Structure 1
Amino acid sequence: MTETFADLIACEDALMFVNAAITSTGQREFHHEQGEQRLSLGFLHEYILENYRDLYAAALALNVNDHNAALIVRNLLLRAGDVDVERRRREGRLIARRLELLPPQRVYRLFRELRRRGVNNRRTRAIMRDWMAARPDPAFDAVKYRDAVKSAMRHAHARPPGGVAGGELGAFLFAPRGVKRFGTPIFETWRRAHYEREALYELPYTVAEGFAARHNVPRAVFLERIEARMTRLERLRLRESAGVGADLRTMPLTRLATYVLSLPLDDRARRRAELTEALRTSARRVAGTARGSWGRVAAVLDDSHSTSGSGQKRRRPLAVALAASYLLEALAKEYTPLWTSGRTDELLLYPSGPTPLGERVLTALETGPERLIIVSDGWDNAPPGLAADVLRIWRTRLDPGHRYGGAQRVQITHLNPVYDADDFDVRRLAPTVPTAGIRDAEDLPTLVELARFAEGRVGLPRLQAHLDERTARFLESP
């Protein structure tokens, strides 16, 4: 069946939104200020919601980042009256499933935003009540996020468990001073921490921190004794001030790459064996059963000055490229990494210099790969536009099977970790090469699959079928 022009536009718009929702967090990037990012992203959300609501909701089943997932949920609930009962039910399932995967603090922040905007329809209250009822440890939440839990319960008209009076949870949230002793251990610990210094070390770190300040506990002493109560992320954030080492064995790949790049070069060199093994172990864990199945792979990886990111996202583009390189090494049977700086020691990378993507793409193609993966923000400037010319000539003259729907000698994919606020999308290198946004290297295999829809060879029906399949898997997953 021949697609209409409107179908082609819809396909392009959907892919543009997915790229933005994967990469942008509304924070400052190297080339764009925070205000530009938020304005551009906000417009894009409104445009897609208004014109393609089903596709907009289906994005919750994709690899969109937590910031955009929360925005999608908020906007769907804000405009709940725009759709019929069946579509609201489908959206409700997507929303409920996505909320299960979001960090609790972000969900509570979303609930506060809904309250601030006066979104209090029956579906919104039901979603809030169901999410709170499913929390594994309501008492822990009440202590760690006390004000947020109170706000959410009031807005959702939710009654704390424990009878008409609300039991201990209700008493703790709304009238804790009237209770002389709690039967719930964490509530009693919180009560005792007001006057017993030792009790604070049994509380979650973020709660204990406030009590430590109240009791004038020296910072170094507090951090040493509270270590057992810290989460993995809290340990990572406090490693320098507290001297607490990060657990590299279980750290996610992209976060591990970010940690490695935050270390001074001398420390990286001294810990070379430890850091390299940790990166490879994490990459092999992500690759899983696909290890070694990608054949010959070449990668062009950007470590130019622009990969330094911004004050809010320090070295994030470089961290994504470094993590992607280790993952591609695990996925490939033969792997050739080519960094724009020409460096070969990946552990000692740092952002510097221009972006000679064209030269590196030429070198990569000369290795005869089956796949070429380019990880870059797309600012090809040494010389400008060379990468686009190389890729165009390769596709039209040296590998023309692509033009006629045939097999390609080399499958080329561009993955871009930076949202371009001016174009409402990630910056592309060439029309003949599919581009997808990427935030975490762990999503690389899935995004390479998604990028094929950006080639213009697979239209809206196939994209819709792909989204339906991803949505079904998303809703059925445990």
Structure 2
Amino acid sequence: MNTPDSRADSAADLVAAEDVLLFVNAAITATGQREFRSRAVDQQLSLDFLHTYVRVNYRRVYAASLALDINHHNAALIVRRLLETADEASPEERRTEGRLIAARLAALPPQRVYRLFGELRRAKVNNRRTRAIMRNWLAARPDLGHDAVKYRAGLKTVARHIHLPCPEGGEPLAEVGAFLFRPGRARRYEHRMLDAWRRAHYEQGAVAELPFTVAEGFAAKHGMKREVFLKRAAPRMTRLERLRTQEQRTVGDRRPDADLTVMPLTRLALYVLSLGFEERAGRRAELTGALRAAARRAAGAHAGSWGRVHAVLDDSFSSSGSGQKRRRPLAVALACHHLLEVLAAPGAYRGLWTSGACDALLVRPWGPTPLGMRILDALEPGGDGAAPDRLVIVSDGWDNAPAGLAGEVLRVWRHRLDPGRRTAVVHVNPVYDAEGFDVRRLAAGVATAGIRDAEDLPALVEIARFAEGRTGPAELYAYLDRQVARFTGEGGCLVKRPEPAPTTVRTARAPGEDVTP
């Protein structure tokens, strides 16, 4: 028999689990940028509140979020908040946080890490633990000479902040120090990239040896023609730089070769949507083949394992996104369309766009959002008379034609027509709702998860099942534990059950306490 205390504990656990899921959804979707229906400042204020709330009340879970597929913006925010409030953590928490921070920094793009370190310096976060984390990250960089050229300001800031020793002499670190703090004095550098930067001031041939973003400035200084510069720089461009400059590198009617089949799925969908309708139609075989190849890579071992899958895909006008996130919601829907086709059993996929479009390659943001009508269509049995095993809805959740119909359809379906849950219904939402501190939901009984990249769909479906109420908080924390162990490469119970919010402020760290990251 449940005692009052056990019932209170269960209620507290459920509230904690809901808070965790709410934060995870925000950390996946929100970037602090303007959305279709909310300003950037609203997004930033909402996200700031969530980070503070979860860090104060569930610090272990807050740190464990670094092991999930959250976006880079929120990962950097979590690292910064953990390092700024190190005195609030116990020694055990600091050790776990150090491992998580090191693993996440290794996965972040270097320019974002340098930006984060600059923010820590401006915030005057200069404890031994922070300096050790910075030193370890720099020590793991494959080529500091390359970083000195491409991320010069960021590396210089970090070197000053952690008092990086740059001795005199011929060793590589000494050359980097001389390049950063004593520029123009060396007649030549042993490091190829540093010497190319020196020669690029007066020699056009050295410009093509530099990273593309650095070489652009020197090309403008030398007055090089854009097409000549791009042709010379092409071998050193990254995959995304090649895509961005592809139009400029077109010679006559011949487009330079670009292997789209190696592009990540969502990024490729964004590229496809940036093209005009005529170009998409003219390159149909190439673009469709690239999208399907990317979907097969993203599906991996999950390919063909989802049975019958029906999808409702939102291409209403709100999927155009904003000036900062142009066509992002529509790109996620297009990428999910191709991924779900691979995840479903062969010939068992059906995708329905809210606009009624039949050609996925030519979709565009247009019209209202009749989610309710499309969900009715998607729940109908297929040609063999069987209901779908999974219904996946990719939408921002603003059902307005008519308003509220989608939620009512799903409620009636779940309670009256499918109480045994033969059809699993999942709603993935690519847009953060700043007012609701979460992604917008369609119905209370439908699992909803935030999504940023379609590649994360299989993992997000696993997270979404915790929101249905069929699994308890213990399973959620066990899942977080497994993710932390996988991410850091260490076993053991690292997350544990979240403790209630502290009523008193922890004392500051005593001198000489362990600061190992």
- TM band (smaller chain): over 0.9
In 2, the alpha carbon distance for the partners of 1:205 and 1:138 equals: 17
In 1, the alpha carbon distance for the partners of 2:248 and 2:65 equals: 39
Are 2:202 and 1:183 aligned? no
Count of residue pairs brought into register by the alignment:
471
In 2, the alpha carbon distance for the partners of 1:189 and 1:156 equals: 28
Are 2:400 and 1:400 aligned? no
Please list, as runs of the form range in 1=range in 2, the aligned pairs for 1:30-429 lying within 5 A after superposition. Answer: 30-160=36-166, 167-243=174-250, 246-333=258-345, 334-367=348-381, 368-401=387-420, 408-429=421-442
Are 2:14 and 1:8 aligned? yes
Amino acid corresponding to residue 100 of structure 2 in structure 1: L
Contact map agreement 1:413 1:448 (CA 8 A) in 2:
yes
Amino acid corresponding to residue 394 of structure 2 in structure 1: V
Helix, strand or coil at the partner of 1:239: coil
Helix, strand or coil at the partner of 2:247: helix
In 2, the alpha carbon distance for the partners of 1:357 and 1:207 equals: 47
Deviation at 1:240, TM superposition (A): 2.3
In 1, the alpha carbon distance for the partners of 2:106 and 2:448 equals: 30
Amino-acid identity (%)? 64
In 2, the alpha carbon distance for the partners of 1:444 and 1:161 equals: 49
Aligned CA distance change for structure 1 residues 273 and 162 (closer, same or farther; 3 Å): farther
Amino acid corresponding to residue 228 of structure 1 in structure 2: P
Deviation at 1:161, TM superposition (A): 7.2
In 2, the alpha carbon distance for the partners of 1:58 and 1:192 equals: 47
In 1, the alpha carbon distance for the partners of 2:405 and 2:342 equals: 30
Helix, strand or coil at the partner of 1:242: coil
In 2, the alpha carbon distance for the partners of 1:431 and 1:82 equals: 36
In 2, the alpha carbon distance for the partners of 1:189 and 1:277 equals: 40
Deviation at 1:110, TM superposition (A): 0.3
In 1, the alpha carbon distance for the partners of 2:336 and 2:167 equals: 46
Residue in structure 2 matched with residue 466 of structure 1 by the alignment: 479
Deviation at 1:218, TM superposition (A): 2.0
Helix, strand or coil at the partner of 1:241: coil
In 2, the alpha carbon distance for the partners of 1:449 and 1:161 equals: 51
In 2, the alpha carbon distance for the partners of 1:115 and 1:345 equals: 51
Amino acid corresponding to residue 178 of structure 1 in structure 2: R
Residue in structure 1 matched with residue 502 of structure 2 by the alignment: none
Deviation at 1:460, TM superposition (A): 1.9
Contact map agreement 1:235 1:245 (CA 8 A) in 2:
no
Deviation at 1:222, TM superposition (A): 1.3
In the TM superposition, what whole-angstrom CA distance separates every residue of 1:362-402 from its partner, at most 9, and x where no partner exists?
A: 1111121000000000000111000100100111111113x
Residue in structure 2 matched with residue 443 of structure 1 by the alignment: 456
Deviation at 1:452, TM superposition (A): 0.5
In 2, the alpha carbon distance for the partners of 1:164 and 1:47 equals: 50
Deviation at 1:306, TM superposition (A): 0.3
Helix, strand or coil at the partner of 2:248: helix
Helix, strand or coil at the partner of 2:351: strand
In 1, the alpha carbon distance for the partners of 2:276 and 2:146 equals: 38
Please list, as runs of the form range in 1=range in 2, the aligned pairs for 1:17-28 lying within 5 A after superposition. Answer: 17-28=23-34
In 1, the alpha carbon distance for the partners of 2:290 and 2:487 equals: 30
Aligned CA distance change for structure 1 residues 398 and 117 (closer, same or farther; 3 Å): same
Aligned CA distance change for structure 1 residues 228 and 161 (closer, same or farther; 3 Å): farther
In 1, the alpha carbon distance for the partners of 2:166 and 2:305 equals: 52
Aligned CA distance change for structure 1 residues 92 and 255 (closer, same or farther; 3 Å): same
In 2, the alpha carbon distance for the partners of 1:159 and 1:213 equals: 35
In 2, the alpha carbon distance for the partners of 1:338 and 1:178 equals: 65
Helix, strand or coil at the partner of 1:414: strand
Helix, strand or coil at the partner of 1:54: helix
Q: Specify which structure has the higher proportion of helix.
A: 1
Amino acid corresponding to residue 461 of structure 1 in structure 2: A
- The answer for unaligned runs of 5 or more in structure 1 is 402-407
RMSD of aligned alpha carbons: 1.5
In the TM superposition, what whole-angstrom CA distance separates every residue of 1:199-238 from its partner, at most 9, and x where no partner exists?
A: 1111111111111122121222212211111111111122
In the TM superposition, what whole-angstrom CA distance separates every residue of 1:14-70 from its partner, at most 9, and x where no partner exists?
A: 101100010011111000011111111111111111111111101000010000000
**Does 379-388 or 227-236 show the bigger shift?**
227-236
In 1, the alpha carbon distance for the partners of 2:114 and 2:223 equals: 30
Amino acid corresponding to residue 365 of structure 2 in structure 1: P
Amino acid corresponding to residue 392 of structure 1 in structure 2: R
In 1, the alpha carbon distance for the partners of 2:170 and 2:193 equals: 22
Contact map agreement 1:254 1:320 (CA 8 A) in 2:
yes
In 2, the alpha carbon distance for the partners of 1:181 and 1:256 equals: 42
Amino acid corresponding to residue 100 of structure 1 in structure 2: A
Deviation at 1:245, TM superposition (A): 5.2
In the TM superposition, what whole-angstrom CA distance separates every residue of 1:140-182 from its partner, at most 9, and x where no partner exists?
A: 1111111110100111122247779952121111112221111
In 2, the alpha carbon distance for the partners of 1:145 and 1:441 equals: 30
Aligned CA distance change for structure 1 residues 116 and 245 (closer, same or farther; 3 Å): farther
In the TM superposition, what whole-angstrom CA distance separates every residue of 1:290-337 from its partner, at most 9, and x where no partner exists?
A: 211110000011000000000111110000000001000001011010
Helix, strand or coil at the partner of 1:400: coil
- The answer for unaligned runs of 5 or more in structure 2 is 1-5, 251-255, 382-386, 491-517
